[in-house]
Amino acid sequence: MASGPTLETERLTLRRWRERDRDVFAALNADPEVMEHFPGVLTAEESDQLLRRIDRQFEEFGFGLWAVDIKWARRFIGFCGLAVPTFQTHFTPAVEIGWRFAKDQWGSGYATEAAKAVLEFGFEEVDLEQILSWTIPANQRSQLVMERLGMTRVPEFDFDHPRLLHDDRLRRHIVYRITREEWAEGRG
């Protein structure tokens, strides 16, 4: 798998994926608590497919969902990064910021720390005008990360996920946004 771009924070390294991440990533995607707000846990094969899709976005766009390591332990703990949705809705095309970490790493501020570096990359290197994030209303932890980043809800962007059936409990999504100006003001 290819190298770069790599991002550094105080405690974390955000890097391209390695072959040896596969097993830990599969275990993370097989954890029902991590996947509570998704349609289901992933099999090892589905986890590998996701990893390949992530890697293709790095090749196509020069950014993606980075693999995140804790620096001191050199331990892979999850992902955080930018993604381009492959479905269409009223606000696409768009760039989304997203995260998924192993359960035993929640509550340490790692998602927020990684996401701040990702926002900086998105606005300074990719030159994006805005970055969105979406989740289901029940995913409070994810919404708290969005709020810690200075993102705000945009109710007019709320949407029914086109890949889910009408009666699916996960269909309705709420959307948060941060513009480049808001991000710059938050840093000042």
Ligand X SMILES: CC(C)(COP(=O)(O)OP(=O)(O)OC[C@H]1O[C@@H](n2cnc3c(N)ncnc32)[C@H](O)[C@@H]1OP(=O)(O)O)[C@@H](O)C(=O)NCCC(=O)NCCS
Asked if 141 interacts with ligand X (CB under 6 A), we say yes
Instruction: Name the token pair of 85.
Output: 């949705």
Tokens 């992933």 appear where?
Answer: 42
**For residues 33 and 102, is the Cβ–Cβ distance under 8 A?**
no
Site string for ligand X, 8-47 (x = CB under 6 A): --------------------------x--x----------
Tokens, residue 53:
């899709």
Closest residue to ligand X using C-beta atoms? 109
Q: Does 148 bind ligand X (CB under 6 A)?
A: yes
Nearest Cα to 137, choosing from 146, 127, 124? Answer: 146
| Contact between 110 and ligand X per CB under 6 A | yes
Q: How far is residue 179 from each of residues 57, 58, 111, 126, measured CA to CA in Å?
A: 22, 22, 20, 13
Taking the complex as a whole, how short is the minimal distance between the CB of residue 164 and ligand X, in angstroms? 14
Whether 81 and 122 have beta carbons less than 8 Å apart is answered as no
- Judge contact between 185 and 143, C-beta under 8 A: no
Residue 152 in the binding site for ligand X (CB under 6 A): no
Compute the least distance from the CB of residue 134 to ligand X, in Å: 7
Q: Which residues, numbered 57-86, are part of the site for ligand X (CB under 6 A)?
A: none
User: Which of residues 15 and 116 has its CB atom nearest to ligand X in the complex?
Assistant: 116
> What residue ranges bind ligand X (CB under 6 A)?
34, 37, 99-101, 106-112, 135, 139, 141-142, 145, 148
